[in-house]
Structure formats: C-alpha cells, structure tokens
Amino acid sequence: MLLSYKIELIPSPDNNLICSRKQSSANNRPILGQLKCSLISSSTESNPSLLTNAGQVSIEKIRKRLFNGKIEISPSAYDTAWVAMVPDTGGSRPCFPQCLDWIIENQKADGSWGLQYPGPGHPSLVKDSLACTLACLLALRKWDVAHQLVQKGLDFIGSNCWALSNDKNQYSPIGFEMVFPQMISCGYDLGLTLPLDSNLVDSMLRERDSIIMRNGKLGYVAEGLGESCNWKKLLMAEQRSNGSLFNSPATTAAALIHCPDQKCLEYLHSLLKIYNTWVPTIYPMDIYTRLCIVDNMERLGIDRYFQYELDSILDETHRLWQQREDQIFEDISCRAMAFRLLRMNGYNVLSDELAAFVDQEHFFSSVSAQFTGVTTILELYKASQLQMHEDEAVLEKIHSWTGKYLKQQLLNQTILDKRLQKQVEGDLKNFRGTSNIIEKKLWIELYDVNHFQILKTAYRCPTIYNEDILEFSRKDFSICQAQYQKELQLLERWYSDCKMDGMTFGRNILHVSYFLSALIVTDPQLSDARFCYTKSLVLFTRIDDYMDHYSSMDEARDFVELIRNWRKQPSATHRSHDIEILFTALYNTVNEWADIASAQQGRCVKSLLIEEWLECLTYMMKEKEASSDNKALTVDEYLSFAWEIVGCKTCTYMVIHFLGIKFSQEMLTSVECVNLLKHVSMVARIQNDIRTLKREEEEEGKINSVSLQAAECGGANPVEEAIAKLRQRIEYHRRKVVQLIVQTKENLVPKEYKNLLWRTGEAGYYIYSDLDGFASQQNVINDMKAFIYDPLNLP
C-alpha cells in the first residue's frame, strides 16, 4: 500500500568510495525540511575525502567570506553616474568627484558601461548597458570631461539602439520606459548629439507620459520624472531612516540634485565611505543577503556545515523582525523570505504582517515598481505555503492569487531567466510548506556564480553566488552520492541473503525504498538510519502486498499469529515457502536492529518494535476483514485505523534509534508524538487513497476513503465531491503537522524525530501526489537514477 506501482530495478555501478563524518550537536530548534546535524570533519576511519584538512580549509574560507566580511555586490555604473551628477554647494563642481573618476576609469572596450560580465557581455543585457551608458554620458557631459569617452559611448548607443525597439529577449531594467526617455531629454539639454531615430524618441516620450498619467507609484524611478516630480513631497513621504529614497542611490542622488537635503547627502557619503569610488544599485541589503545565504545553503544541502552561523542569522533576523526593521518591512521580498524562514525554523511570526498583499489588483496598483517582479511574487507564494492555523486567511488568499499568477507566467513564457523559470516550476510542484526533497542536484546544476538580478540595473551579489560555495557543494554532492551507491550495494546483498529476490509475489521495491530513505535521511553520517529505514520499508511493503493481494483470510490470520508468537521456527503446517522467507526476513531484521538499538539507547527496545509490527499487522487484518465482508464503514471509522497502516509510524519507530539521540517511552506515547504521527500519516493515507482509487476499488474491491466518502456524499458527481472533501482533510492535517513541527514550548518530541517525520511526509507527498501528474512511475525512476547514479550536469 505504501507504494502503488512497480519500479524497475536499476543496476548499481561499481563505486566503492564511502565517506563517514563526525557529528556534532545542534541546537534544539526544530527545522522543517532539513536534518540539521552539524558535520565538521571526516572521521579517521573513512577514505580521504572532501571533509579532511582540505575540506576544513574550504569550510573556513566560506565561513570567512560569507559571515565575517561585508556584503559583496557589484558596482552600479547607472547609480554611480547619478551620484556623480550631484553638484557641490556652489553648484559648479561635482560633490562626489571620485564617482566621476570611476566612470572615466571603467568604460568598457566597446564604449559602454554596465555590469562586468565574462566574455563580450550578456546578450540579454543590451538595454541595461544602454541605460548605464547614457547615464554615464550625462555625468561626463555635465562636468565637461573625457570627450573621447563620450564619443565612444555615443558610438555604442548608435550601434545598439536596435534593442530599444526589438526587446523580446532583453531584460528591461525597472522603470526603463520612464528613465531612459528622461535621460534622452537631459542629454539634449546638455548638448549631446544622440544617434537615435527621432520617431523612436518621440514614441518613447509618449509612452513615458502615458505611464505617468496612469500610474501613481513611481517614486522608486523618480529620476525619470525630472522637474515634474514634487521632490519635497516625495522626501516627506518616502525617505527612509537612513536618509535614502527606497534604498536607491540613484533616486536619492536625483532628489539631492533637485532638492538639497542633508539626510540624502549623509546617506550618499556613508556609501562612499564603504565603496570609496562607486555605489551599488541598492543599499543596504544585508538582511536580505543573509537570508538568501540561509535559503541557498539549505537548497544546496550544505547547511549542516554552517549551522551555528545560519542559526545566528535567523536569531538576529527575528530580533529585527520584532523591532520592525525597515530593511525587512520596506522590502516585500525580504519580508516574505524572513517570514518563511523564521516560521519554518520555529520562531513565532504572525501572518498578519503579510496582510497588505492579499489582493492581486491592490498589490499591483499600490506597491512600488521594484516589488512587482516574478522573484517577489514567488517569495510571497512560498511564504503563503506555511499556513499553520485555520484562521490564517491572509496566507490562503496570497497563496491563491500568487499561484495562479506564476502559472500564467509559465504558460505565457514571460520569464526570461531560465534559472528562475525552473525555480518557479519546482516550487509550484512542492507540497505546501515543504522544500523540494529532490531539488538539491538541480539546484547545484543551476547555481551560477555569474548570476545577476535586475532592479534599475543588473547587479551581482558574490556573497550569495560565488565559486567557493559552488565547488564545495559539488564535492559534497559527489561524496554523498558515492556513499549512497555503496550503501545500496550492501542492501542488495541483504535482500539476496534474505532470499526476497526469489519470492513469487509482491513488489520488488528495494531500490525505490532506498531512494526514499536517502531523501528522508540525507546526512551521509547516518548510514544506520538509512539502512534501517530501507529494510523496514521493504518489509512493510512486502507484508502489505501479501495481506492485501496474496493471502486468504485464514493465511492472513496465521501470519498475524506468527508475529504475535515471534518464534524463529514457527510450527504452522500450511505455510508456503514465500511466507517462510518473508517472516524469517522480518524476524531476523527486527531482532538484529533491536540489539543494535538497545546498545545505543542503553535499554531493551525489542518488545517495543515487535509490538509496533504486531499492531500494524492487526490493523492490516482489520482492513482486510472490512473489505472482504463489505462491512459498511463510515469514512471516519475507516480513517481511525487506516492511518496506522500507511507505514509512517512503523518505519520511523524503527529508525528513531539511529538518529544519534536517546528517547524515552514517555516521549513515544506522549500526546504530542501520537498526534504528530497521526497527522503525518493521515496526509499520506488520504493522498494514497485518492491516487489508487481506481485500482483498489475496481480491480481489487478494497475499501478506500474516497469510495466511502463518495457513498456519504451521493449527488451527481459523488467521487469528485468526495475528493474535494478529502483534500480539505489533507489541508487540515497538513496545518497540524506544521504546528507541531515548529512549536518549541513544552516539547517532548526531539527535533531529530520531528525532522524525520517531516521528511517522511515530504516523501509521501512526492510518491502519492496526483496533482497535475507531477509524480509518475517514470518520474520516480528518472529522479532515483539522477539522485543516486547520474553525475552532476555541469556547464
């Protein structure tokens, strides 16, 4: 029942590299979607690997670059040019001559200014280069310097003005339609002879005027308004506590040109104290950058090496959240990401802080232009997935419109950034509130050290995207993959030794079981946990197949008695050879792991494990009897025990002993633990029933929550109505899971077990989801092959 279709075996390659690592303690805060064990160095028993001395050097290099230094961001020629145009108090000289010097020293060979990009430049950044170049020409012309550079810049504009009218594959800087025509007008006023077609210029000016007429939220690109802007009013309404307008050096400089303001001046001086001769396109962005580091490291799977630093970032972010820090609350992307990461990591943050974004029409008509892009909408969508309470209508409404909007962008093919497009596709597939459990490899392959983002100009942030992180992630993935391959070889030997490869019934799901176990227990150090999970899952599925499809009522009862008696040589006279194989495999495996677990836990756990298997088999028997007798169960009666036989409880009871923690009987029987197990299992149970309805009802005559719910619904379309009602149940249990995972007060359940259950729930969704056909037999086969065997597809 746990897996509802057959998976073909994939031969494992011969790879003997194995890596084990020393585990250090982590803090007690539960973290969704990650098994956060901090692994520092390779154990002396492992083969030479990334995490020996060289690996430690790499870790320290990343730690110093990311956590002990200032934020790395690329210079903005566009913003630097605007700052260079600010006059001193006398008006005859530049207030910031160092910016003018930077412009003179940083013209590219083709006559342009803009983002430094490897090779001849990015082919989709021509419009951006035109804007940067024209801004720099205005600065040079205003102060009447570098005439040769001006001519080279004009030649570049003349050669590339095609991008102004043929921009299908061009990234358009925010506000380009406003700012560029305004700069053209300024250029004419300064006597520049711009090589632009007059009809094109007239068309651009008309479009600018039209935008001004219909859009009242143009403060972020106010330099495109020129004299028509009420700068004093804008400063009164929008000036930040740091003196800037929108944290934009260009807008702040434009305000200073038109309306002298001491706070604006101090803001620009503060930037040049940091960057000396240039300014970035946004400042500050420390909080957003730090949150991106947390997010990226989790996606790349290397967060366990930097857990102390990442926890410190989250602690500080929560402190600033409580203080309503401008950097968080004036930046929608930052606010949404902070909400998501803080809530996922157990901090108390209220969804009411996102209430301003519940309506799509109001959102696009009221927020500033820099927050209307796909990146911001995607952050809101991901934040909206973390609904914990039934009364969080704010998140429900955001989830509804952002999901539809993003799907429409994919359908219309309007996302030029292919990396962002793949990210949107992946995040739309994910279960609400989960990370994509198989995205690590894809994320490494998509990680681009030259990745840029677009605001009013293109910029890079090497603190987030750099070669040190990329190289470390690649090596870590290769080591983990080699570990997984070695473990699977050992499991193939176990499977053969148990003689299960010769059984005549049931599904051979060894490989897919290991695949799921590796997705759930990702840490290479936790080999025992993966072995135990895989063996438990294989045995559970084999027994489930037997009880469902290959046993008579008497044979099923006899098998339950075998478990109840728990003898190595049972005396049943009518047992088949296959049943003897199956029971012997279960008997030996449970006894073996119980002995290992007892040594680690310091107490005997064998009776606990045997009782759990017996309880599970008893409920399987109950389901079989109900199906055979056509007993009239209600959907509530069925689900009251059916969640016990989806496998989550049985498998995780086996595995919890091997997570590096000790637990008590009190914990396992606590209301908190039982409820968490029930809610995780219920989500998987109902998803499984929805997916397997046709096979189980029509081909096998089994009871199923969908058919039982449909019988209660009646009506013209009872199955559709039943599925809708059951999906409401899924949503209810999903919210309960999130609540129990992130709560930190009065916890009896250790975070390691919470994270194990969370990942188990993710795996269940991945296998059972039938939404838009994202999970299919071929998809699982392909994902398994990519995760365990295929090398990274590197550029």
Tens-digit pLDDT profile for residues 355-368 = 999 999 999 999 98
pLDDT exceeding 70 applies to what percent of the chain? 89
Computed over every residue of the chain, the mean pLDDT equals 88
pLDDT tens string 307-326: 999 999 999 999 999 999 99
Neighbours of 386 (CB within 10 A): 24
pLDDT tens string 461-477: 999 999 999 999 999 99
Dihedral sign (CA 44, 45, 46, 47): positive
Q: What is the pLDDT of residue 275?
A: 97
pLDDT band at 17 (very low <50, low <70, confident <90, very high): very low
pLDDT tens string 368-418: 889 999 999 999 999 999 988 888 999 999 999 999 999 999 999 999 998
Closest CA to 208 of 241, 178, 236, 240: 178
pLDDT tens string 67-97: 987 899 999 999 999 999 999 999 999 999 9
85, 258 contact by CB (below 8 A): no
Structure token digits, residue 76 = 């903005």
Q: Is the pLDDT of residue 528 over 80?
A: yes
pLDDT band at 286 (very low <50, low <70, confident <90, very high): very high
Q: Which helix (H) or strand (E) holds 23?
A: strand 21-24
Structure token digits, residue 39 = 């692994």
Span 496-511, average pLDDT: 88
Q: What is the pLDDT of residue 401?
A: 98
Structure token digits, residue 66 = 């990311």
Structure token digits, residue 192 = 């520049």
pLDDT tens string 539-567: 999 999 999 888 889 999 999 999 999 98
Span 276-298, average pLDDT: 96
> Which of 22-31, 49-58, 612-621 comes out lowest in average pLDDT?
22-31
pTM: 0.87
Helix (H, G, I), strand (E, B) or coil at 722: helix
Q: What is the pLDDT of residue 568?
A: 75
What are the C-alpha distances in Å from 413 to residues 333, 726, 774? 22, 34, 20
Q: What is the pLDDT of residue 214?
A: 84
pLDDT band at 154 (very low <50, low <70, confident <90, very high): very high
pLDDT tens string 167-200: 788 999 999 999 999 999 999 999 999 999 999 9
Closest CA to 559 of 549, 570, 568: 570
Q: Which range scores top for mean pLDDT: 176-190, 216-230, 778-792?
A: 176-190
Q: Which residue ranges form the domains of the chain, and what is each CATH number?
A: 62-71+284-469 (1.50.10.130), 77-275 (1.50.10.160), 470-789 (1.10.600.10)
Q: Phi-psi region for residue 344, left (φ > 0), alpha (ψ -120 to 50) or beta?
A: alpha
Q: Is the pLDDT of residue 507 over 90?
A: no
pLDDT tens string 743-762: 777 688 998 999 999 999 98
Structure token digits, residue 526 = 């936790």
Span 482-488, average pLDDT: 95
Closest CA to 34 of 792, 784, 754, 765: 754
Q: Is the pLDDT of residue 10 over 60?
A: no
| Pairs from 106-113 (Cβ < 8 Å, separation ≥ 24) | 106/75, 106/77, 106/278, 107/136, 107/149, 107/152, 107/153, 110/156, 111/149, 111/152, 111/153, 111/154, 111/155, 111/156, 112/153, 112/156, 112/160, 113/77, 113/78, 113/81, 113/153
Q: What is the pLDDT of residue 403?
A: 96
